[in-house]
Amino acid sequence: MTRTQQTPLLPPVGDATAANVFMTVLTRGPIARSEIAYTLGLSAGTISRSTKPLLEAGYLIEDGAADNSRPGRPTMPLRVVAEREFVIGVKLTGDHLVGVVVDLLANVRASREVSLTATDVDSVVAALAGLVAQLRLAVDGPITRLGVGLGGHVDPAAGTVRYAPFLDWRDVPLARILSAATGLPVVVENDVNALTVAEQWFGAGIDVPSFAVVTIGAGVGCGLVLNGGLVHGASGLAGELGHIPLDPAGPPCPRCGNTGCVEAAVADSAIVGRITQASGRDGLDILAAAQLARTGDAAAAAAFTAAGQVLGRALATVANLLNPNRIILSGEGLAASDLFETAARQAFYTHAYGSAGDCELLTRPLPDDTWARGAAAVAIQHLFVARAPGR
Ligand SMILES: [Zn+2]
């Protein structure tokens, strides 16, 4: 059966249990029913009842079931049918969009990038709809869902962007608007949370129950997975590491106006501002600032070191509060890691309390594609919990 002849797409099958079963097969398959039951702490009967509609709808298959001489047995491992449907993931920034089409195993089948010429909601939605149209042509199969990741405070349960500083958006019901523009169900998520899901499924978070992804660059972001679950908090705001007040004597935060926020010391603009203040040099950007530091400018080097010290204290805060197995440091700010990483690690180990300091600190540059893939992975997670958004 070719994909174009596939049966019409069904609405999400099953309930929260079916969703958990599907995710277990997706992340660990091929996997036997008995192992799914053990992993989820459910009875064999429950697993049979949950997998049946997923098998019938073509989302799961018994591994080897295509061999007609060997009829399926209850112990035959299950795997996800990757090409059952496709999902689009988009990373939305202040100046461009990166989109990918993935199959149900989150394998990237195509990617596209477009520049944004304006950041008002109508212009961005039009650009996003255009990108989705391009990506629809890139695969031969049904695209059923769209996930969008962007920086700022996103309430995924409501599908609303509460505040996106890089776009200057407040209270934009983006999921609803995009759904009307594309005809697809849409999930909106904070971009670092989406990246964190990507790391949990197929990156450096795959083998640990609890980890944090901290991103640095224009801002400071943080995604948290605790005991296997992404942490949203009450309204999607969990992980605002950038606005943890670490230094009462620190500079005012350009984003929130408070004093001593992590972001006010670690963000690119903070580093550049410190150099400008110390040396009187004007018109620097973060690349020029890094170049200056590398060529021996003491004020520039000190600015990166100071940022590294605050970053290290922020990472120790994460470790002391949540005791993750691992902290993954990423974001475009890593381009200057040679200038701050030593100071950050020193501050981290100084302030990490007891065995919180056993937490592994990993630096991992991740391309835009990975962020977009994370947004698609979030959309896949919502495949079977459409009636309970935000889970
Ligand atoms: Zn702040």
CA-based R_g, the chain, Å: 23
Structural domain contains residue 387: no
Q: What is the pLDDT along the chain (391 residues), one digit of tens a residue?
A: 333 333 334 455 667 788 888 888 988 889 999 999 998 999 999 998 889 989 998 999 998 654 454 455 546 899 999 999 999 999 999 999 999 999 999 999 999 999 999 999 999 999 999 999 999 999 998 999 999 999 999 999 899 999 998 899 999 999 999 999 999 999 999 999 999 999 998 899 988 999 999 999 999 999 999 998 899 999 888 999 999 998 888 889 988 889 999 999 999 999 999 999 998 888 899 999 999 999 999 999 999 999 999 999 999 999 999 999 999 999 999 999 999 999 999 999 999 999 999 999 999 999 989 999 999 999 998 887 644 333 3
Q: Report how far ligand 1's centroid is from the alpha carbon of 248 (Å).
A: 12
How far apart are the CA of 256 and the centre of ligand 1, in A? 4
Please name the residues in contact with 113: beta carbons below 8 A apart, sequence gap of 6 or more.
96, 97, 98, 99, 368
Residue 259 C-alpha to ligand 1 middle, in angstroms? 7
Domain that holds residue 11: 3-83
On the CB side of 137, CA atoms within 13 Å amount to: 6
Q: How far is the CA of 388 from the centre of ligand 1 (A)?
A: 32
Residue 260 sits in the same domain as residue 145: no
What's the CA-to-centroid distance between 257 and ligand 1, angstroms? Answer: 6
Give the C-alpha separation, 238 to 260, whole Å: 19
Of 49, 83, 117, the residue that ends a domain is 83
221 and 343 in a single domain? The answer is: yes
Same domain, 112 and 222: no
Q: Which of 83, 101, 121 is the last residue of a domain?
A: 83
The pTM assigned to this predicted structure is 0.88
Task: Please tell me whether residues 213 and 350 are part of one structural domain.
Answer: yes
CATH number at residue 229: 3.30.420.40
Residues 260, 226 contacting (CB under 8 angstroms): no
Kindly state whether residues 51 and 78 are assigned to the same domain.
Answer: yes
Q: Say if 386 falls within a structural domain.
A: no
Q: Are residues 114 and 147 in the same domain?
A: yes
Q: 22 C-alpha vs ligand 1 centroid, how far in Å?
A: 39
